[in-house]
Amino acid sequence: MTDQHRPRNPVEQYPAPDREKQPELEYPGLTSDMVSAPDHGEQTYRGSGRLEGRRALITGADSGIGRAVAIAFAREGADVVLSYLGSEEDDARETVRWVEEAGRRAVAVPGDIRSEEHCRHLIDTAVRELGGLDILVNNAAYQMVQMNGIADITTEQFDRVLKTNLYALFWLCKFAIEVMEPGSTIINTSSIQGTSPSPELLDYATTKAGIVDFTKGLASDVAKRGIRVNAVAPGPIWTPLIPATMPREKFESFGDDVPLGRPGQPAELAPAYVFLASQESSYITGEVIAVTGGKPFS
């Protein structure tokens, strides 16, 4: 049986998605509208109890990387609070189904993390519904490609990107630390854009670079409390966000420029989050794991 442990040729592990037939989507995009559905590990991720009894909050948990992490966490034994936008309800319900099929509890909480009050509500919900919070995954992000670079980035867009990608992360970390016990972990999602910025994603890349520094600084700040803080930096990953935020001329070649020659799948990110959430990474904090298909993160 194929699972995440079986050795395979990484170049051929996944066929390239059919990007030519993929229509552009309206933001934020739904998994059901993908011509080549992303693999979230539904049929392949095999758990081994590495997060047994842990309680997690994952933002952007409806689809893409967030769904893959939720499935992996549940199969490793964790209960999960799922944060997502209300417009992504259909995708979120599917994530809930997979978590519950793994025998774990899924608490779905729609809302906009650009609100400080909603971020507080998410942490309070985790404590109330799950009895505490051991793992926070800051995964939700907003991007919108502007082919003319800074000339087309409006103040409204810049504000939205920073509020979603940085302000929410700050609020959620601040509130989570108030309730976390020693041994808890925070995992932030950066990006290859954090060190290799594309001009058409200038605002998004700025936040992803900021997340790296925030992660390293916060890790030093809370180490004495026994809380670890790390980040994962994905490369080009095939999710609904891609055709929902990029023009066709960009996403038709999406992922072709990495050494492995293809975009990654959300299922290929999940093991990095599981590792950083588990006791196996007990002496790792303030670090970034790059999952980029071989593209240098430096």
Confirm whether 204 is a catalytic residue: yes
Q: Is 92 helix (H, G, I), strand (E, B) or coil?
A: helix
Give the rounded distance of the alpha carbon of 170 from its chain centre: 16
Residue 145 burial (C-beta neighbours within 10 Å; 0-12, 13-18, 19+): middle
277 sits in the region (left: phi over 0; alpha: psi -120 to 50; else beta) called: alpha
How crowded is residue 250: how many other Cβ atoms within 10 Å of its Cβ?
A: 17
**Cβ–Cβ < 8 Å for 59, 123:** no
End-to-end CA distance of the chain: 36
Residue in the block written with tokens 């990484």: 10
**Cβ–Cβ < 8 Å for 288, 233:** yes
Residue in the block written with tokens 């066709």: 248
Catalytic residue among 14, 84, 204, 273: 204
26-63 burial: b if 16+ Cβ within 10 Å, else e = eebbbbeebebebbbbbebbebeebbeebbbbbbbbbb
Report how far residue 3's alpha carbon sits from residue 46's, in angstroms, rounded to the nearest whole number.
6
Question: Which residues does the annotation mark as catalytic?
Answer: 204
